[in-house]
Structures are given as C-alpha cells and as structure tokens.
A and B are shown apart, each in its own frame.
Chain A
Amino acid sequence: MDELEDLKRKKMFELMKKAAEQEAKKNYPSKPVEVTDATFYDFISQYPAAVIDCWAPWCGPCRMISPVIEELSSDYAGKVVFGKLNVDENPTIASEYGIMSIPTLLFARKGEVVDRLIGAVPRQIIEAKIKQILI
C-alpha cells in the first residue's frame, strides 16, 4: 500500500514538474522582445535569465548576429529570454552600460547585468556564456 502511495506521489510530482515547465515556456517569449529605455529594467527583472542584444539598424555586424539571437531565443525558450535594444533610439541605457561598441550582448541574472560579449561572436561563444552564467 505504501509503495502504491509512493508511486502515486512520484507520478504526481513528475506531472507537476512537467506542467511547471510548460507554464514557464508560456511565460517566456520564444522570440526576441523589443526592449527600450523605459522597459529595460522591468524586462531584466521579470525573468531570472535574460540576454539583451544592443544593436543599430545601420550596423552590418549587428545584422549578422540577429538571426543567431532569433535561433537562440527559440532554442532556449523557457530558460532564457532574449531582448533587443536599439542603441540609437535608447541612448540612456546604452550610455548607462557604457556601450561603445556594437553589437554588445548584455547578460542579466535576476535583474542585474552580470556580463557582456562584444562583437558579432559565433553562436557557440554565446551559448557557452549562457551555460556558464545563466543556466
């Protein structure tokens, strides 16, 4: 009898875990979200793990990294959220974080920017950083 209860509990736990994962996925956008001076802090506080791509439309290397960010946002949906901040339109955040070179990726954990990557770096390097500090 006890064994049966135990099994029941285990099964229940698994189901709850699965439901929680699905819920997290729902709340985590699977596409990059546009972030502005006004929404930046809310955005990085809302999710435990976030990557913000600071870019500008005229910047060639920024256009190179953009599809990689799209891919990652879908591959890491539910774990890491991705934002895009146009540095021309949002000079306050760009200046606050001393962004003097684009693209710059800011890595935020629990509402705080903890690391960055500069330049159109390959996907593996971004992924390594995500694994190292965000998940």
Chain B
Amino acid sequence: MDEAEEVLRYRTIAIVGLSRNPEKDSYKVAEFLKSKGYRIVPINPNAEDILGEKAYPSLRDLPENLKAELEVVNIFRRSEDVLPIVKEALEISKRYGNIKAIWMQEGVINIEAAEAAKKAGLIVIMNRCMMKERLKKEEMPEFKLDNSLIPSG
C-alpha cells in the first residue's frame, strides 16, 4: 500500500480553504469525499457551514473532540500560506497524537512545511489531488457514515 492509499483510508479530514462556491475545486473535492463517506470538517473563516457541515475559522478553533478525532489535514491554500496551517496541525498533533497526514492539493507546494510535518512523523502528500487519487482506487472501502452516531462530547 502506498502512502496516498494509507491516507485515503483514514476517515476524518479537515479541508482548509474549503470554499462555499460549488464552482471551486475545493468544494467539488469535498463534495466527492463526503459522498464516499468521509467525514469532512470545513475550515473557512468566512462561512458558517459548507456542505451541511459546520465550518471553523481555523484548525486552532476546532472543538476538543474534533481535534482529537482529526486524522488528515487537506490544504487548498496558496503555497506561501501553508506553513502556518501546518504549524497549527502539528500543535494539535503534539497534543492529541492523532493526525496522521498532511495533504497539499495539486499546485500547493511548500517544502518547508512538508519537512516540518515529516519531521513530526506525519505522512506528507504534496501537489496531488485527493479526489483524483481516490478515483484511481475504486476498490477501496466506502465508509458507511451515520453522522447521528458520532459523539459530540
């Protein structure tokens, strides 16, 4: 199993820079991931909720239970804005130990951030699209997701 496949098997994904605009790639990718049963957590300071999920201004603003459950941070931001996001992710990772990977979307490249995440033991996928990678792996399990069962506390 390659690293991308391992990452795609985790279920709880924060999408940093997820747009409210259905025309944008971030929206399309998030919508696709949600349809496959992933639990998506929108990070966007200008939205209340996106795709029916409550949005948070930043990773740091996530409630404790989500910080503990977060497994993957998927980034749709300009390359030069990535480092502070990864630093926030690493803070959460240090405290809760549950983030497994940083995924920078196609066109998002930040070597310094990638190195920092790798040094902290995280898997880093860079300059690749999560939706395209997931589509290549149709044989993967689709998660049955029932949001009502996810504990909120």
Contact = CB atoms under 8 A, between A and B. Distances in A.
Interface string A111-133: 00000101111000000000000
Contacts of B141: 88, 91
Contact of B144 (A58, A95, A97): A95
Nearest to B142: A91
Interface stretch (B5-13, B22-30, B53-61): B5-13
B9 A116 contact: no
Interface residues of B, number: 25
A98 B150 contact: yes
Interface residues of A, number: 19
Contacts of B70: 101
28 contacts: A56-B9, A58-B5, A58-B6, A59-B100, A60-B6, A60-B123, A88-B141, A91-B144, A95-B144, A95-B145, A98-B150, A98-B151, A100-B69, A100-B145, A100-B150, A101-B11, A101-B68, A101-B70, A101-B71, A102-B10, A102-B11, A102-B71, A116-B151, A118-B68, A118-B96, A119-B97, A119-B98, A121-B97
Interface of B: 1, 5-6, 9-12, 39, 68-71, 96-98, 100, 123, 141, 143-146, 149-151
Given A88-B141, A119-B96, 9 more contacts: A59-B9, A59-B100, A95-B144, A96-B149, A97-B149, A100-B69, A101-B12, A102-B11, A102-B71
